Structure 1
Amino acid sequence: MDLISEVIRTVRVGAAQARLIRQDAPGVRFPAFAGSGFHIVLHGVCWLVGDGDPVFLRPGDIVLTTAGGAHGLSETPCDLADLPLIEMGDLPPNPGPASFEFLCGNYRLDHARTPRYLRTLPGLIAVSPDEERHPETRAVISLLAAHVTKPQPGSAATLRALLDLVLVHVLRQWHEQNTTETWPEVAHPGVAAALREIHENPHHPWTVGRLSEAAGMPRAAFSRLFTAEVGEAPMTYLTGWRLSRAAQLLRETDASLARIAPQVGYSTEFALSAAFRREYGVSPGRFRSAAAGRAADT
């Protein structure tokens, strides 16, 4: 099972944002937020400040905030509380002198949960890309920098693709550089088979019994093993996946709720609407309107 691809599909439900930040001393603090994001150091050097020891960053280094934890970038090692909060919003970079410069990108999941696979990783991940082994990473960063500094027609459509690529490259390279760390994998072939069925056929009238048949396992053993490996009971995971897919369709298509419902396993638009509101805290219509408004502002 390709877990990185599943992570990308899930975070894409959120609002995509990116900006260039030119920062002088002492640095800047980012508050906790619902979502995942990254910083790419372009010029100068700085320190990543969070819960652990400060980490020195050079040009080209990438920081991934896996689950939106509070953190900061500082000219010198310091306590996070000593840094001033960043001014949020789509703002142009500071035209004055700067100690360091970085690209910032994120998916804000204001009405969704960060994927479990990211929540199992360290809250802050710093990666120094190996340009000899992965020259494509530098190419992706250059494309993102050009997108942010000189927006062109079609920028709103390309931003998500570029953020996806950065996240994919960071997760791949962190995994390569940390082979002793626990990587969220589904090892059992039966559980992996059930997950594939859920992901590829969310419209199917699944029950725990039918999923256990797809896994080739007794129902009780399947339910225990699935929960242990995935972190959620089979039907809880199924519901989350269906609603995540519904949110993606609401954001990326103009299909009516009546058309979306059977695609994600709900018999009526009313059943989907009720489940969606429980999961995301807003109605499907408000979710779509908010997504459209953010896209128009991009």
Structure 2
Amino acid sequence: MDLVSEVVRTVRVGKPGSRVIRQSDSQGVRFPPFDGIGFHVVLRGTCWLISEDEEPAPLKPGDVVLITSGAAHGLSHVPCMLKDLSPVVTSPVPRKPGPFGFEFLCGVYHLERGRTPQYLRALPDLITVSPDYDRLPQMRALIDLLSTDASEAYMGTAATLPALLDLILVHTLRQWHEQYGSAEWSRTDDPAIAAVLREIHKNPQQQWTVDRLSEVAGLPRTVFARRFTAGVGQPPMSYLISWRLSLGARLLRETDATLATIAREVGYSTEFAFSGAFTREYGVSPGRFRRTPTTTYISSTTNRPNPQAPSEELPQSS
């Protein structure tokens, strides 16, 4: 099962955003908890990743911090306590030119009502990856493109932003998974459970029951339910409902299909049944969810090289 693809497909229904932040005060910034997934890329200077439970971790230019499920965290000039950092200010007003301690690129998908995928909630809250830019020049190019779009109000940014976020998330998760993921996600790679997940994802409209899913797994019903819950983090039917509604949310955002058509595609007999389940899960009706714009926040802060900036910069590909 391609877990990375499943993660990106699921978070794509969220509201994308990106900005470049230059940190110029004497300490750093704190990011509050949020529903969703995000990342920071250190562009220039050095800093420390600050969390509530772990020791401060040093970051250098090019390092990527993945916030898998919206945990509170901070970036600081020096090691410190998270509570000692000032909350980040997301004002669109550009900062005045001048010296800064470090500069970083932010990307995020804000999700409604805590719909962070179970796969992400099973990972560490904060993941640090140091990409090999010589081996992965495409990662360098993606970061350049996103930082440019996040720095200027270019035409078409609303279209390019989700694509760039998706690609950076894919490359970051892929590299982390290559290094550590086999241990962290080993339970989800259970062949029997992976076969069930493939069927649920491929055919959500089927009238699945625990008995039918256990037949797909080739396991007794009780054994299947226990292994599925242990590997995925949810009972089979809870996961099925969550996946159907997540797919429904994607179709609402990405297509003009009628509510009745979407309901049938995701396994509900009527649009009223789908609407009721969707409203319970997302807190808004499908119609209102579709009408709500996926607004993006693009910072007007520039990331053009500053003659007074630190010499440490994101490594350039050869």
Normalising by the smaller structure, the TM-score range is over 0.9
**Preserved CA contact (<8 Å) 2:64 2:128:** yes
Output the TM-score relative to the length of structure 2: 0.87
Kindly tell me: are residues 53 and 10 of structure 1, through their superposed partners in 2, closer, same or farther at Cα, counting changes over 3 Å?
Answer: same
Is the aligned partner of 1:278 residue 2:307? no
Residue pairs, 1:50-199, within 5 angstroms: 50-51=51-52, 52-88=54-90, 90=92, 92=94, 95-178=97-180, 181-183=183-185, 185-199=187-201
Aligned CA RMSD, in angstroms, stands at 2.0
1:185 deviates by 4.6
**Preserved CA contact (<8 Å) 2:66 2:126:** yes
Kindly tell me: are residues 268 and 294 of structure 1, through their superposed partners in 2, closer, same or farther at Cα, counting changes over 3 Å?
Answer: same
Residue equivalent to 1:32: 33
Residue equivalent to 2:20: 20
The farther-off stretch of 207-216 and 158-167 is: 207-216
Kindly tell me: are residues 89 and 116 of structure 1, through their superposed partners in 2, closer, same or farther at Cα, counting changes over 3 Å?
Answer: farther
Tell me, what secondary structure is at the counterpart of 1:33?
coil
Kindly tell me: are residues 212 and 90 of structure 1, through their superposed partners in 2, closer, same or farther at Cα, counting changes over 3 Å?
Answer: farther
Tell me, what secondary structure is at the counterpart of 2:200?
helix
Residue equivalent to 2:314: none
- Residue segments in structure 2 that go unaligned for 5+ positions in a row: 300-318
1:89 deviates by 5.4
Cα distance in 1, alignment partners of residues 5 and 224 from structure 2: 24
Tell me, what secondary structure is at the counterpart of 2:189?
coil
**Preserved CA contact (<8 Å) 1:20 1:93:** no
Q: Deviations over 1:89-141 (max 9, x none)?
A: 55545544321111101011123421111111111111111122222211111
1:293 deviates by 5.7
Letter matched to residue 110 of structure 1: E
Letter matched to residue 84 of structure 1: S
Tell me, what secondary structure is at the counterpart of 1:60?
coil
Q: Deviations over 1:170-193 (max 9, x none)?
A: 112222333674235523322111
1:47 deviates by 0.9
The farther-off stretch of 206-215 and 236-245 is: 206-215
Cα distance in 2, alignment partners of residues 123 and 240 from structure 1: 21
The farther-off stretch of 206-215 and 157-166 is: 206-215
The structure, 1 or 2, with the larger RCO (C-alpha pairs under 8 Å, 6+ apart) is 2
Letter matched to residue 230 of structure 1: V
Residue equivalent to 1:44: 45
Is the aligned partner of 1:7 residue 2:28? no
Letter matched to residue 264 of structure 2: P
Cα distance in 2, alignment partners of residues 90 and 197 from structure 1: 45
Aligned to 1:227, which of 202, 226, 229?
A: 229
- Residue segments in structure 1 that go unaligned for 5+ positions in a row: none
Tell me, what secondary structure is at the counterpart of 1:203?
coil
Output the TM-score relative to the length of structure 1: 0.93
